[in-house]
Amino acid sequence: MRGEPTRERQNVSIIIKNLHAPTEPIRLQPGPSRLLIENRTEKRVLPAVWVTGSAVHHLISKRKPFLNANRLLSNRVFRELYGSNPIDIDQHFNINSLSFLFTDLKESTALYERVGDLAAHDLVRMHFDTLAEIVALKAGAIVKTTGDAVMATFPTPDRALVAALSMREAMDKINRERENINLLLKIGIHAGPCLAVMENGRQDYFGRTVNIAARVQHLADSRAILATAPVVENSETSKYLKANSLISVPKRAPLRGIAGEMMIYEIP
């Protein structure tokens, strides 16, 4: 409640519909109030009213958010359970910051020519399974796969980078264990704001951040991990790179469809 106390009765009407429960804040002046709750659903509801003092509001105002759209929509378990309908078709979420990782196998067509369709298909499947396991271990989620490419999201840039390094190590291990196999994984990472939407019956992301992440991956050469400044300059990422004696090599490069040049960092 805010404002000057009043003796006039204030009327508050809350309508419960099938679409969703009302969550809009209502401001009242201190004083008598009448609460009217109308149930327009076909189910029984159990409304509750909590009356608290200013001390509780002060305590709540200091809490840090534990679950937000960033963490929820990029959570692997959530996407598996609600992958087809977490967002209404005409709804979208503005996410302040999300980390995107794109991968693609270089010269996968040549792989099919070299080892045959069956062996190559098994290798590509193994590659997908390996990447999916790494993404899950780093608290990320795979958004979609297209051909031999993967699009994944992570709540923070450092998790995306650690996942990328693990992916590269995993591909190197596969190559060492199998003769005539050379799986070369190109990886690009970028972080920033985006839109979470429903597209073709599944949760997807759109915006400049997504476009840049995809373009950065296209710049990558074999075994290269390329990342942008928002990823490399993140405090947790910087700590990880320093602790593991990894040096990011900067270079300016144009990205197709993106105005101007961007600073891109290669993690050798």
Q: What is the DSSP string of 246-260?
A: ---EEEEEE-TTSSS
Domain-by-domain residue ranges, the chain? 10-61, 69-266
Q: How far apart are CA 103 and CA 106, in angstroms?
A: 10
Distance in Å from the first CA to the final CA of the chain: 57
In the 3-class helix/strand/coil scheme, how is 214-248 assigned residue by residue? HHHHHHCCCCCEEEEHHHHCCHHHHHHHHHCCCCC
pLDDT of residue 25: 75
Classify each residue of 179-211 as buried b or exposed e, where b means 16 or more C-beta atoms within 10 Å of its C-beta: eebebbbbbbbbbbebebbbeeeebbbebebbb
pLDDT of residue 161: 97
Say what the pTM is: 0.71
Contact (CB, 8 A) for 49 and 36: no
pLDDT of residue 43: 84
Contact (CB, 8 A) for 193 and 94: yes
Contact (CB, 8 A) for 220 and 186: yes
pLDDT of residue 72: 66
pLDDT of residue 254: 87
Report which of 214, 243, 240, 207 is spatially closest to residue 228, judged by C-alpha positions: 214
Read off φ and ψ for residue 134, nearest 5 degrees: -65, -45
Render each residue's pLDDT in the chain as its tens digit; 268 residues.
677 888 888 888 888 887 666 667 778 888 888 888 888 888 888 888 777 777 877 777 777 666 666 666 666 666 666 655 555 555 667 888 999 999 998 877 777 777 788 888 888 899 999 999 999 999 899 999 988 899 999 999 999 999 999 999 999 998 888 876 778 899 999 999 998 887 777 788 999 999 999 999 999 887 789 999 999 999 999 999 999 999 999 999 988 888 888 999 999 8
Contact (CB, 8 A) for 189 and 224: no
CATH topology of domain 69-266: Alpha-Beta Plaits (3.30.70)
Contact (CB, 8 A) for 70 and 97: yes
In the 3-class helix/strand/coil scheme, how is 161-181 assigned residue by residue? HHHHHHHHHHHHHHHHHCCCC
pLDDT of residue 130: 95
List all residues 6 or more positions away from 250 whose beta carbon is below 8 Å from its beta carbon. 263, 264, 265
